[in-house]
Chain A
Amino acid sequence: MTEYFIRRVLQSILVLFLITLITFGLIHAAPGGPTKIFLAPGLSQEAAKIQAHNLGLDQPVAVQYIKWVGGLLKGDLGYTFKNHLPVGQILWPTVGNTVVLMGVAWLLSLLIAVPWGIYNSTKEYGLSDQTASFVSYVGFAMPTFWFGILLQEMFALNLDWLPLSDMWTMGKEGNIGNLFMHLILPVTVLTLGFLAAYSKYARSSMLEVLEQDYIRTARAKGVKERRVIFRHALRNALIPIITVLGLDLPILVGGAALTESVFNWPGMGRLFIDMAVAREYSVLMAITLITAVVVIIGNLIADILYAVVDPRVQLGKGGRSA
């Protein structure tokens, strides 16, 4: 077990290292290099040189990289170029806001999708199953931002039931009821997307398990159908669902960016888009790193859950290979 963890952590560090290399490399591969982008236009040659020196941009790329990584290890995410604000100060509040939005949407969709998918697997091609199939098709084909815009037009502009965008109404920051009203539309958008995927996964995973020999054995034993589904089949069906949940984490974070953008939600995804347009690379690098860390931790948790559910997986002995 400990050996497994050490190996996993080492692997994760390698992946993180590669990610820092890629992001850093991308920025330095930009036409003209970062110097041209980072410095305000219209500076005199002299002033540009001084500023480049202050920002450390006149040093070799390798030195810059090592300095940046060194700062990261100390918890220093760097400073923005424009106002020279600490990146952490801008970034951390948005992380919290994204967690609120995504957490609510994700939990809600899991709570609906998994039981629904299981139910549908027992009543294949029934009314409920066909509804789910319809929802999946719509969810997969509907551009999230378009769905968001339509909901805004309908419920905010036409009916005026719900706020158009943002996280709080001005002056009501911290009011839970107000937050709730603001959450409804973006959560609906996100939930449709997740629901489409997860109810399908849950259903097909259950269907596959229900065809297995051991399910027939359970029935041959005279086990009640309810018990066959919830005890014999469900635990096996959860195994692939857990894997998918782990692998989906980046989609979770990335998918939120569009929704956050449509609803002007002050989250990490929107910050990333804004900062990409403003070319604030230190912020972009920080966000990429944070999401990667979250994803890696999520996958680790998924692996542990996997081992808990499936006795065939022993974390100490190589586990499953990707």
Chain B
Amino acid sequence: MAERLLEIENLTTGFMTEKGFVKATDNISLTIEKGKTLCLVGESGSGKSVTSLSIMRLIDYAGGSILDGKIVFRGDDLAAKDQEEMRKIRGNKIAMIFQDPMSALNPVFSVGDQIAESLRLHQNKSESEAWKEAVNLLRMVGIPAPEIRAKQYPHELSGGMCQRVVIAVALACNPELLIADEPTTALDVTVQAQILDLLQKLKQELGMSILLITHDMGVAAEMADRIAVMYAGAIVEEGTVEEIFANPSHPYTVGLLQSIPGFEGTRGKELYTIKGTIPGLGNLPGGCRFHPRCPHVMDKCKTQEPLDFKVGNDHSAVCWLYEDKAPVVLGRNGGETK
């Protein structure tokens, strides 16, 4: 197994809402290896973004907080750091790109300024050096005429261009981990492919790891080395991309794959949909959190939270269906450690 860059152990985060306290992620664990891409897949509202904000510790600003667990990055627990220490890591060692590129850039500063700011912050570069570097970065992310573009403001660029700028901002300091939170959702389909290609290319050139958050199994198939499927604040299945696609085990994952148009076995049939909707995080059902929507629901599912079962090589699923067929993975999410 390759060197581990980031390990999330039993992370629980939550928000205070008007109705009381709500857990956004429940006891989740993840590992990202050096130079690899982990895809976190799930519907909106499943806690993917909260996980990424927790790694960045930006969740503190969003009104949430980390209640329990560790986020170990190169041997340091980020969950225990204060904001000043985190500040030196953010944008430097770990960088992030966001869903809506148009609103992720500050409208009153030129894009060159916004890239150069990272360089001046973390690498103490002079203004002119940083500007030169910013222009280079724009060229690297494939923006034509970067000298001119650098002086422009976000509203003068298209959505795809803006996302390239956001990527340039994130890559300015050569981060070891890039968190991409639905980087293509807000873009046109043709532009989506370009941005994904760009990320793939940059990952190989720079040797960084990527945590890619998406609701799109197609994107995951193209980008991922490993996939973790998240549902209602918990990870329900995790494994290598080959394993997950060859042998999807959790009924939710199966549902996600079947609802891709044109996926093998679905062609010609009516498009599959998972019945029901994802529960609100303050409103989780008892037992397995997926049971009200599960086609294979059993009595046990309604009362007891399932354990994590090893369903294949480097592949596990949190589902009672495998109770008799597979060994339990200890220390993973599920009721066992708590």
Query: Chain A: residues with CB nearer than 8 A to chain B?
Result: 212-214, 216-225, 232, 235-236, 309-312
- Asked whether, in the complex, the Cβ of B58 is within 8 Å of the Cβ of A214, the reply is no
- Asked whether, in the complex, the Cβ of B117 is within 8 Å of the Cβ of A312, the reply is no
* Bound-state Cα–Cα, A285 to B77, Å: 73
CB pairs A–B below 8 angstroms (16 shown): A217-B98, A217-B106, A218-B106, A219-B90, A221-B90, A221-B95, A221-B117, A221-B118, A222-B90, A222-B91, A222-B118, A222-B121, A223-B87, A232-B109, A311-B108, A312-B153
Chain A proximity mask over B104-131: 1 for CB below 8 Å, otherwise 0: 1111110000000110011000000000
- Tell which of A218, A222, A236 has the most Cβ of chain B within 10 Å: A222
Taking the nearest CB of chain B, how far is it from the CB of A226, in angstroms? 11
How many pairs of A and B residues are in contact by the CB < 8 Å rule? 72
* Bound-state Cα–Cα, A93 to B91, Å: 60
Q: Is the interface of A mostly helix, strand, loop or mixed?
A: helix
Q: What is the chain A residue whose CB lies nearest that of B122? A: A222
- Asked whether, in the complex, the Cβ of B108 is within 8 Å of the Cβ of A221, the reply is no
- B44: chain A residues within 8 A (beta carbon): none
Give the contacting residue for A216; candidates B61, B87, B92, B169; CB below 8 A: B61
- Tell which of A213, A219, A221, A309 has the most Cβ of chain B within 10 Å: A221
- B62: chain A residues within 8 A (beta carbon): 216
- Asked whether, in the complex, the Cβ of A236 is within 8 Å of the Cβ of B105, the reply is no
* Bound-state Cα–Cα, A216 to B61, Å: 8
Is B303 in the interface zone, CB < 8 Å from A? no
- Tell which of A220, A225, A312 has the most Cβ of chain B within 10 Å: A220
* Bound-state Cα–Cα, A216 to B95, Å: 12
- Asked whether, in the complex, the Cβ of A214 is within 8 Å of the Cβ of B90, the reply is no
Q: With A213-B98, A311-B155, A312-B153 as given contacts, are A224 and B87 in contact (CB-CB < 8 Å)?
A: yes
- Asked whether, in the complex, the Cβ of B58 is within 8 Å of the Cβ of A216, the reply is yes
- Asked whether, in the complex, the Cβ of A214 is within 8 Å of the Cβ of B118, the reply is no
Q: With A213-B100, A311-B155 as given contacts, are A223 and B107 in contact (CB-CB < 8 Å)?
A: no
Is B284 in the interface zone, CB < 8 Å from A? no
* Bound-state Cα–Cα, A214 to B122, Å: 19
Contacts A220-B95, A310-B108 supplied; 4 other A-B pairs, CB < 8 Å:
A213-B98, A214-B104, A214-B105, A223-B117
* Bound-state Cα–Cα, A40 to B118, Å: 78
Taking the nearest CB of chain B, how far is it from the CB of A318, in angstroms? 14
* Bound-state Cα–Cα, A214 to B101, Å: 9
* Bound-state Cα–Cα, A314 to B105, Å: 19
- A310: chain B residues within 8 A (beta carbon): 107-108
* Bound-state Cα–Cα, A32 to B58, Å: 72
Give the contacting residue for B155; candidates A220, A223, A312; CB below 8 A: A312
